[in-house]
Amino acid sequence: MEYRNDYPNLSSGNSSDYERSDPFSDSGNSSEDDSASETVQSSISDSESVADSGSSSSGNQSRPFGDGLVPLFDGDRVHDLIKQRFLSSLGLLGAQASVVAVHRNSYSSLVGQARLRSFQIYLKAVEEKCGGNPNVKYAWYAPSSKDEISKIICHGFGNFEQPQRDGVFGNGVYLASDDSPMQCVESLNVDEDGLRHLLLCRVILGRPEVVCPGSKQHHPSSEQFDSGIDSIFAPKKYIIWSTHMNTHILPEYVISFRAPNCLKEFLKVQEPIKKPTSPWMPLPALISVLSKFLPPPSIALISKHYKDHRENVITRQQLIQKVRQIAGDKLLASIIKSFRAKQIKTLQTKGMPQAEAALRWTV
């Protein structure tokens, strides 16, 4: 299974199994024959030039994240590409959000340069290990605060403010695929200026393995794997284990934006109300059946979400989404269809017509 980042409007040239050309780089076109390590090497030169230009053009401007990040401005190709890509990926929220600033990591300090070269070394190692495809992606990281961004740029990733709030997929850094920033936006805090901030990172996935919700994993399950994902078919969440968080993640950009203050309420209003058409099954009965297929930690997590729903902590729709995420649609569909068939058969034995029996179990 190949994992690709497609930037149809951002990158020049042909795309390969991973992004050989940096879709956000302003260094010009790169050849199809360039290796991944050469791509990162070019980023070093780019970063040095950005640092030089940033120090001269914006030296008197405030730096909201401290040293190490330089602003990009409207009209700059990279700034405009990131802005367009981000807003278009927000769906309905995109029309209500506005990008206020984009900053680029300059890697101008000695430690910054060392961290960038370390990423290059590990990228080349994973590239050789995986037969030429290190599976490099862009991904979003949701910081807990503006201060955490400064700490990441200065010191690297760490447990500054317990960044992984749910810990559903084990001990690591969770990132959202570049086309799914909403995975991060919903959990962002608003700073004193009314802004939210996201980190756009380059990530080495290598060979990812599917991680089940409820996992206590904190490193690859074997030497065959390098990272974790939430789905084999359309991964929305990347898990970089704590053992790899400062070698396989390269923070490159910070995007600052405004969004409706009551973001969660806005999303509820914008979400179309649809009448459920799936077969109905009492959740306690569903949990009982799921316990035959899922590990105890997953069942405990589903039970917790069900309890939260009963106590009005989460909505019915949120409960459904969490159960789907944990159990998977294929298993759920099989269980519910089997349950529905049994119920229809039971009702038919009581003399109820088949069509009426079928409708009774559809809501």
Residue 162 phi, psi dihedral angles, 5° rounding: 50, 65
Residues of the chain above pLDDT 70, percent: 69
Q: Would you call 171 exposed, middle or buried from its count of C-beta atoms within 10 A (0-12, 13-18, 19+)?
A: middle
Confidence class for position 265, pLDDT limits 50, 70, 90: low
pLDDT at residue 69 greater than cutoff 80 = yes
pLDDT at residue 309 greater than cutoff 70 = yes
pLDDT at 80: 96
pLDDT at residue 255 greater than cutoff 50 = yes
Of 249-253, 293-297, 318-322, 347-351, which range is least confident?
347-351
Mean pLDDT of all residues belonging to the chain: 76
Of 182-186, 259-263, 300-304, which range is least confident?
259-263
For the full predicted model, state whether its pTM sits above 0.85: no
Query: What distance in Å separates the CA atoms of residue 196 and residue 182, rounded to the nearest whole number?
Result: 12
Confidence class for position 19, pLDDT limits 50, 70, 90: very low
The residue behind tokens 């990272």 is 227
Of 156-165, 167-176, 282-291, 299-308, which range is least confident?
156-165
Where are the alpha helices (H) located in 173-315, listed in sequence order? 182-185, 263-270, 283-290, 296-310
pLDDT at 333: 79
The residue behind tokens 């984009």 is 102
Where are the alpha helices (H) located in the chain, listed in sequence order? 36-57, 77-88, 110-129, 146-155, 182-185, 263-270, 283-290, 296-310, 316-327, 329-349, 354-360
Q: Please write the tens of the pLDDT for every residue from 23-54.
A: 454 444 434 334 444 444 444 444 444 444 44
pLDDT at 43: 45
Q: Please write the tens of the pLDDT for every residue from 112-134.
A: 999 999 999 999 999 999 999 99
In 3-state terms the chain splits into helix, strand, coil percentages (rounded to 5) of 40, 15, 45
Query: For residues 79 and 290, which has the higher predicted lDDT (pLDDT)?
Result: 79
Q: Please write the tens of the pLDDT for every residue from 319-355.
A: 888 888 898 887 887 787 777 766 665 655 555 444 4
Q: 272: number of CA atoms within 13 Å, CB side?
A: 5
Q: 299: number of CA atoms within 13 Å, CB side?
A: 13
Confidence class for position 214, pLDDT limits 50, 70, 90: confident
pLDDT at 240: 95
Which domains are seen in the chain, by residue range? 36-264 (3.90.228.10), 273-360 (no CATH)
pLDDT at residue 308 greater than cutoff 70 = yes
Residues of the chain above pLDDT 90, percent: 37
